[in-house]
């Protein structure tokens, strides 16, 4: 339960969401933003927003554009009221958007399971939407093809209208009629075509008078020659309008039949639009998903007030939500830099006392904590750093600002006391209480005593309290009461201005004398004021100043350490970059030498291939065949030499990954990490500056600049099963009285390309000059590399007459049938 959230400015966060929605349906959900009473739906929304943010990171937000709030037209249709073209087209467009959103989220189930769960149950009404939309022209009028009868009826109406205009044009050119006309034109009165005739000649023109001018000088007569065709036009127009009404009525019934499904589409599309706007706000504010803990408490790191961050942003572009004519928002004051701060209370602590100078940011710090507690209850992400925690508070009470009321006859102090009375009556161990300048509008001695008593009572109730104050007494309480904790907003004594940086466990002085002097108060007045504060007060001020100086020195030391660490890290990165460049140079030299050696061997192989080609062209004499066999043997020896030389080369070792996590020189087949998904995957294609990455069962598009070095090596693939045992077919032939078995088939499945070609050459050489005329080479399907290499080699072989793929009985494309020379 919340006493009020107005002082914490949740309404401005709601406004930021409204600037980012894209449909009226999303606007409805943004307008309804309010804290949940139970933490479970808040946790569910925080997770759903995280998933929506992942879709935005992939440039794949739900395509909700075009959906409209059609609740009223649907209700009218259900009541039997005929809808016009505009509402019907809006219903059809919403149906179509629902189907598109469903398909989109089903395809992204792994990234956004929460939105997938919403959309998967939607009924696909795209066919109904198409049936409705195709009945209309782009301008919203019914199309001629909306029914078989409408087009001919409209053609008939147009023909009659044209005939009437033609006859009227002839009448206007009739010299006998010229003297009777008031003006040389025709017009329409009571849906009839008429001529403006002078009143004095109305009996000279045969026809029907349909109207007269206000002055009575002109009567509008439908000529006798037009009566019949005019009547036919009225009948045709009536039939046309009746057909149009019939079509609209049928489409209205169609919409009414699917009203419940369309309402569900509106609900789901609205939620998806709202979640996407919350995710975009999370990106703009650099938020993190902070899941509320069951109990109260908070530990916020580098927390930034959302409204201050919003002021640093350019206004978002106008969204496609139908509000194109809305006035531009007023320009926001720009903030140069938003300073993040740490806030927290430990387990035994309950009361955070924020002190510091006026205009130093004490109230903003307190509001930041309260607004964060509200945003968590609303299921939104928080603009802070990873590792932050926020507990769940059932009640948030605030006493901020001037509560003076003339109507209730309350002074500022009286109104403040009434607020404290109310807070004390309701506070418990599930409450967060925010009090600005507690008990400040009365005598300081009595005020600080009252303030301490109220805070101790709230502590006894178990409430968590954030309070701002200038009372010196409250600054000292945390040193004696472990339930209290100090937090001070810094002040730069040299520049005489606040630093807006909060330091935990260190109280800060009000620096009122310094600020007054900086604003122009005479030094003599300030010195006199210092003397009037008394020695005790000055001593306390000096003690606080000493603590501030010590804290500042520690902060400077920490910053120097961070700078030194950053310098060392930069030096390490430069050294690693130089080492990587040296390794790449070595690799290039080795690769060049390896390429030269392989090129020499391949040149020798090419010479042998040229020899074989020349022998192919020769006649099939014994000496030529013998020469061919010798050439193939030489090619085999060169192949073995090629393999031996390749094996002698040092094994290529992958260069160590760069010190940066970003992947460099991404190629198809690389194993990379998609940082936004925190998952590794295969690069299956590269399209410009984007890569297509296969992650599990999902294929996504990722900018090359966002790919990282994988955290883990590529998983080992399941070993390919050994090829099944193959028994070659043989046949027996009789040569010179002796029976000889001749192998007609070879199985190369599972072999590498080099190994397969080497075995194939031996097989062909064996069958050369035998009675075998055809052999079958079994290579299987696989990736197709072995099959293509074998067929290309066979086309160039001197043993081969022709090559063809096997038919269905011969193994299909997994085998090649060879006719031998």
Does an H or E element contain 635, and which? helix 622-648
Task: Report pLDDT for 1.
Answer: 46
CA 122, CA 124: separation in Å to the nearest integer?
Answer: 6
Q: Tell me which residue of 456, 122, 403 sits closest to 260, measured CA to CA.
A: 122
Contacts of 266 (CB under 8 A, 6+ apart): 25, 67, 69, 70, 71, 94
Please report how many Cα atoms fall inside a 13 Å half-sphere around the Cα of residue 697, on the Cβ side. Answer: 6
What does DSSP assign to residue 382? B
Backbone angles phi, psi at 748, to 5 degrees: -110, 10
Distances (CA, A) of 273 to 12, 22, 59, 376: 19, 7, 15, 19
Q: Which residues contact 15 (CB under 8 A, 6 or more apart)?
A: none
Structure tokens at 63: 């395509």
Pick from 289, 502, 283: which is nearest to 375 by CA?
289
> Strand 351-355 relative to strand 484-492: parallel, antiparallel, unpaired?
parallel
User: Among candidates 28, 61, 24, which has minimal Cα distance to 326?
Assistant: 24
Helix H or strand E encompassing 638: helix 622-648
Distance between start and end Cα atoms, the chain: 95
Tokens, residue 60: 């794949």
Cβ-based neighbours of 727, under 8 Å, separated by 6 or more: none
- As beta bridge partners, residue 396 has 2, 432
Answer for the pair 324, 455: CB distance below 8 angstroms, yes or no: no
Q: Give the Cα-Cα-Cα angle 134, 138, 140 (nearest 5 degrees).
A: 85
Which pair of structure tokens corresponds to residue 750? 């599972």
Contact 115, 105 (CB under 8 A): yes
CB atoms within 10 A of CB 749: 17
Place of tokens 């192919």: 616
Classify the phi-psi angles of 339: left when phi > 0, otherwise alpha if psi is within -120 to 50, otherwise beta: beta
What length is written for the chain? 821
**Between the CA atoms of 260, 261, 264 and 269, what dihedral angle is there, to the nearest 10 degrees?**
-140
Q: How far apart, in whole angstroms, are the C-alpha atoms of residue 744 and residue 675?
A: 56
Q: How many CB atoms lie within 10 A of CB 580?
A: 16
Say what the pLDDT of residue 335 is.
47
As a whole number of angstroms, the distance between CA 106 and CA 372 comes to: 33
Q: Which residues of 291-303 are buried (b: 16+ CB within 10 A; e: fewer)?
A: ebeeebbbbbbbb
Kind of pairing between the strands at 774-778 and 745-747: parallel
Separation of alpha carbons 33 and 527, rounded Å: 53
Mean pLDDT for each consecutive 10-residue tract of the chain (821 residues)?
A: 67 94 96 94 97 95 94 95 94 96 95 94 94 92 93 93 88 82 85 87 85 87 88 92 95 96 96 97 95 92 93 64 45 64 90 86 92 96 95 92 52 83 92 91 85 94 93 88 90 68 80 62 67 56 59 66 79 82 79 71 66 53 53 60 60 47 77 82 79 72 85 63 42 48 73 81 75 85 84 83 86 88 77
* Rounded-to-integer distance, Cα 265 and Cα 652, Å: 57
Dig out the tokens for 93 from the structure.
């467009």
Q: Give pLDDT, residue 325.
A: 43
Residue 632 CB contacts under 8 Å (≥ 6 apart), including other chains: 612, 761, 765, 798
Q: Are 150 and 247 in contact (CB under 8 A)?
A: yes
pLDDT for 154: 93
DSSP reduced 3-state for 391: strand
The pLDDT, as a whole number, for residue 688 is: 78
Closest of 818, 813, 755, 763 to residue 788, by C-alpha: 813
Q: What is the 3-state secondary structure (H, E, C) of 220-252?
A: EEEEHHHHHHHHHHHHHHHHHHHHHHHHHHHHH
Q: What 3-state DSSP class applies to 277?
A: helix
3-class DSSP state of 681: strand
Q: Identify any residues that bridge with 300 across adjacent strands, giving them in sequence order.
A: 343
Sign, CA torsion 145/150/156/159: negative
The pairing of strands 464-468 and 351-355 is parallel
CB 771 within 8 A of CB 627: no
What pLDDT, on a 0 to 100 scale, did the predictor assign at position 783?
A: 79
33 Cβ partners below 8 Å, 6+ apart?
Answer: 10, 13, 14, 17, 378
Kindly give, in sequence order, each residue whose CB lies less than 8 Å from that of residue 697, ignoring residues fewer than 6 positions away.
110
What's the rounded Cα separation, in Å, for the pair 424 and 416? 12
């Amino acid at each position: 339960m919340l006493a009020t959230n107005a002082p914490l400015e949740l309404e401005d966060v709601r406004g930021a969401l409204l600037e980012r929605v894209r449909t009226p349906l999303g606007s409805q959900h943004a307008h309804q933003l309010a804290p949940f009473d139970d933490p479970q739906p808040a946790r569910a929304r925080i997770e759903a927003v995280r998933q929506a943010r992942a879709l935005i990171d992939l440039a794949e937000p739900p395509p909700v554009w075009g959906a409209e709030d059609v609740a009223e037209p649907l209700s009218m249709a259900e009541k039997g009221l005929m809808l016009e073209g505009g509402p019907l087209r809006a219903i059809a467009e919403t149906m179509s958007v629902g189907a598109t959103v469903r398909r989109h989220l089903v395809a992204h189930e792994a990234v956004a399971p929460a939105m997938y769960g919403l959309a998967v149950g939607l009924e696909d009404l795209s066919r109904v939407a198409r049936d409705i939309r195709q009945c209309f022209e782009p301008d919203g009028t019914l199309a001629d093809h909306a029914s078989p009868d409408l087009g001919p009826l409209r053609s008939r109406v147009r023909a009659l209208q044209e005939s009437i205009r033609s006859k009227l044009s002839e009448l206007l050119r009739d010299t006998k009629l010229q003297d009777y006309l008031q003006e040389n034109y025709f017009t329409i009165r009571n849906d009839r075509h008429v001529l403006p005739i002078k009143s004095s000649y109305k009996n000279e023109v045969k026809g029907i008078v349909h109207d007269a001018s206000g002055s009575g000088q002109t009567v509008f007569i439908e000529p006798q020659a037009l009566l019949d065709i005019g009547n036919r036009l009225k009948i045709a127009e009536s039939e046309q309008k009746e057909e149009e009404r019939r079509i609209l009525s049928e489409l209205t019934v169609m919409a009414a039949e699917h009203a419940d499904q369309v309402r569900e589409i509106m609900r789901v599309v609205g939620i998806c639009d709202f979640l996407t706007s919350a995710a975009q706000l999370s990106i703009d504010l650099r938020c993190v998903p902070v899941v509320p803990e069951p109990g109260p408490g908070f530990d916020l790191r580098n927390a930034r007030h959302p409204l201050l961050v919003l002021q640093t942003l350019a206004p978002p572009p106008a969204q496609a939500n139908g509000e194109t004519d809305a006035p531009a928002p007023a320009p926001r004051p720009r903030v140069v830099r938003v300073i993040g701060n740490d806030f927290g209370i430990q387990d035994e602590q309950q009361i955070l006392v924020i002190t510091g100078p006026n205009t130093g940011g004490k109230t903003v710090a307190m509001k930041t904590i309260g607004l964060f507690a509200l945003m968590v209850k609303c299921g939104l992400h928080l603009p802070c750093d990873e590792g932050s925690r926020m507990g769940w508070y059932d009640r948030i009470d605030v006493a901020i600002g001037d509560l003076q009321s003339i109507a209730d006859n309350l002074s500022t102090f009286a109104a403040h006391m009434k607020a404290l009375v109310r807070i004390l009556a309701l506070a418990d161990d599930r409450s967060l209480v925010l009090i600005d300048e507690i008990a400040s509008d009365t005598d300081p001695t009595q005020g600080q005593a009252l303030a301490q008593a109220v805070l101790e009572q709230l502590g006894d109730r178990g409430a968590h309290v954030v309070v701002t104050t200038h009372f010196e007494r409250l600054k000292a309480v945390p040193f004696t009461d472990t339930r209290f904790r100090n937090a001070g907003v810094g002040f730069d004594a040299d520049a005489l201005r606040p630093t807006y940086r909060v330091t935990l466990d260190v109280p800060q002085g009000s620096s009122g004398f310094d600020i007054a002097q900086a604003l122009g108060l005479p030094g003599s007045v300030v010195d006199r004021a210092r003397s009037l504060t008394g020695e005790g007060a000055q001593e306390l001020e000096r003690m606080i100043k000493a603590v501030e100086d010590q804290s500042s020195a520690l902060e400077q030391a920490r910053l120097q350490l961070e700078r030194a660490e950053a310098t060392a890290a930069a030096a390490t990165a430069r050294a690693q970059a130089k080492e990587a460049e040296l390794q790449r140079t070595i690799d290039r030299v080795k690769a060049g030498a390896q390429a030269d050696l392989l090129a020499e061997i391949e040149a020798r192989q090419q010479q042998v291939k040229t020899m074989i080609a020349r022998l192919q062209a020769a006649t099939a004499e014994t000496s030529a065949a013998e020469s061919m066999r010798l050439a193939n043997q030489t090619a085999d020896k060169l192949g073995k030499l090629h393999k031996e030389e390749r094996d002698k080369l040092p094994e290529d070792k992958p260069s160590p990954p760069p010190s940066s996590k970003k992947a460099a020189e991404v190629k198809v087949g690389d194993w990379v990490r998609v940082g936004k998904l925190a998952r590794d995957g295969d690069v299956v294609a590269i399209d410009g500056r984007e890569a297509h990455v296969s992650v599990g069962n999902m294929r996504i598009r990722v900018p090359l600049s966002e790919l990282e070095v994988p955290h883990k090596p590529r998983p080992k693939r399941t070993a390919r099963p050994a090829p099944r045992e193959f028994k070659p077919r043989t046949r027996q032939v009789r040569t010179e009285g002796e029976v000889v078995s001749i192998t007609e088939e070879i199985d190369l499945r599972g072999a590498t390309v080099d190994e397969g070609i080497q075995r194939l050459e031996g097989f062909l050489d064996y069958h050369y000059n035998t009675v075998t005329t055809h052999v079958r080479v079994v290579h299987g399907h696989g990736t197709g590399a072995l099959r293509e290499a074998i067929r290309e080699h066979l086309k160039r072989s001197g043993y081969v007459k022709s090559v063809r793929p096997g038919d269905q009985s011969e193994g299909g494309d997994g085998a090649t049938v060879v006719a031998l020379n």
